[in-house]
A and B are shown apart, each in its own frame.
Chain A
Amino acid sequence: MDPRHDPNLILGYLEGDLTPDDQAKIEALRTADPDFAALLDGMQSDRQLLQSATPAAPPAGLTDIALAGLERSMLLDNHDAIAARPTRRSRFRLAPLLTYGGIAAVLALTAGAVLNSLRPPEAAAPVANTPASEPFDIAQAPIQAQREIARRDRAAVAFDTTGSTDTTDALGASNTQRLEKKKENVLQENLPQEEVALAKATDTDSIDAAGIASNSFADDSNTGSRIAASKQVAQAAPATVASSAFEKTNTLNEADATGESHPRVAKTQQPTTTHAPQAMTAATLSDHQAKTLGMDSLHDTGAQAQGLLSLAAQDSPQEVAAKVALETNAQPKSISSEALALTDIKDFKETESLVGASTAIMGGTPQTRSKNKSDSLRISPNTQAETALLLQTVFSNDLTPNPTTTPPQPNWAQPLHRLGDDWTRWTTLP
């Protein structure tokens, strides 16, 4: 490197730190290069000038002024610190109280809310803790207690119906009164007043007076009439039924003679107290009607009903009477031949109406339909089980399932579920 461009050599030369050899090199270059020599002279003169310059004197008392200002600021800071100290202390005294107090309050509220949510609802309701020994007034009890009663009632119903094959028994006696009311409402809405009276009649005299006399059976499609007739047969004694049927048939014949109506009377015979309702119901249905309803069980209901059904479709009344007696293993004389003779059984083939009550008895089929114009009573599927219960009430306990057929399995869930949803009805039960 050219010594003229070596900073270390130039600086060393200016400050006198070079070795003699380096010093000789720089001196040689200095003599050879005047510009380099002028640069070195200028740098050396500048350095000497700066070093020789008298240092400027600082303002008088610069240190004292600085220390005085420093002390003043320290005193002011201390004064401020002393003045602010109580405030800081008070502020710091309140701050923990407010902070920890707020935290404690929040924790207490949270814990209370959590504990309250974890408490069982029974414990939360003070009425539920009422001692059982105290007199209990259902009217004064809250809705929850009333629901509990209704729930126990329903459980009892389910227990009573366990293992039972009868639909009406399954519902239990607890619903009987309510269903009776419903039955009355249905009848009042769809039946003439006389038929309602007939349906409500419980003794033979009433049936004779009100039922047979008023029930013209002119409209065989009226389901209520069928129901009323079934009830009449069930509640009346066999002999009374026979006589009533005879009287009714006469009345109907008279009506037929006048052209007012075409009498069609159900075969209200009661060969035995056990099979009379089934025979009667079977007589009210034809094959066509049963197939229409899909009631295959109609023919399985019993030999009595099937035989009677076939007789009603083909044979003469006398043959019907004889075959019925034979098929039902009943005493021949228990069948009222007069009633059969006086009744045009074949007319029932033309009947288009279906009786919900008969349907329920024959197979428990939840279908009740009416195809003809007299659709005054349309029982919805939900009420068919109730219809069965209605007929069971009418027939008391005379309806015994045929041991040769498989009893229909009742749909327990439907009525119970329906009743179970409507808690207000349960709670308002008398």
Chain B
Amino acid sequence: MNKLLSIAKVQLMMRVTSTMWIFVVIIQPILFLIMTLFIMDIEIRETYTMAAILGAGMMGTWSSILFSSGGDIDRERRWGTLEMIVGCPTPLWYIIGGKSLANGFAGIISMTLSFLTALIFFDGRLSITNLFWFIIVLLLNIISLSSLGMIICTLFTISRAARGLMNLMENPIFLLCGIMFPITILPLWTRPFSYVLSLTWGIEGLRMAVMGIVDYQRFLFHILMIVLLTIVYLLISAKLFLIVEKKAKKEATLGVY
């Protein structure tokens, strides 16, 4: 655990100096928030401002994990340090886990800044009804997205072509998880895809905590789903890591692919 934290710390220090990181964590969420608020009819803006903030915050969280962790892997491949990382005694699982988690926690910055933006420029009436549950769900979301990020990072280590998919994991995920609007407006056939993404449950959970939890059973079911899906993600990523390590030892070609 200590190792995990130290990797996370280094990662966070590095991030602050990277402009790509500043873009995905600070600029992009704020711009998306602003756009969403401008799209809204004035009369409903007040009702939905908080939902837009939550969406922008989670957007920053996911993009931070995706681009920073994925981008790191790509950079290390180009620098030829990827094999060194795979080969070093600290398991790859820890390294990527630490990176993802650190980048995930950076999402709190997105959330806070979105909140402030709305507060200052859109004078929204902002409040969080169940602060306790809000924090719990937020943390769960970050951990859950980080574990999903781990799967994706491992895919990046296996294949260079996966990098082309990086851009494709932003908008589609935002769309399917209903990050800014309820998934009920999407066609019915997309529902299974939404339900296997923990963020679908997570964002809804956040909205409930903000608006005030009416149906606790329903709320706890959402939390349960996040936890379950997170465990599944972790299992999948652990399995993938084993494959990568085997592949690296057998073929020593990580740098080339």
Q: Do A and B form a real pair?
A: no
Could you tell me which B residues sit within 8 Å of A by CB distance? none
Could you tell me which A residues sit within 8 Å of B by CB distance? none
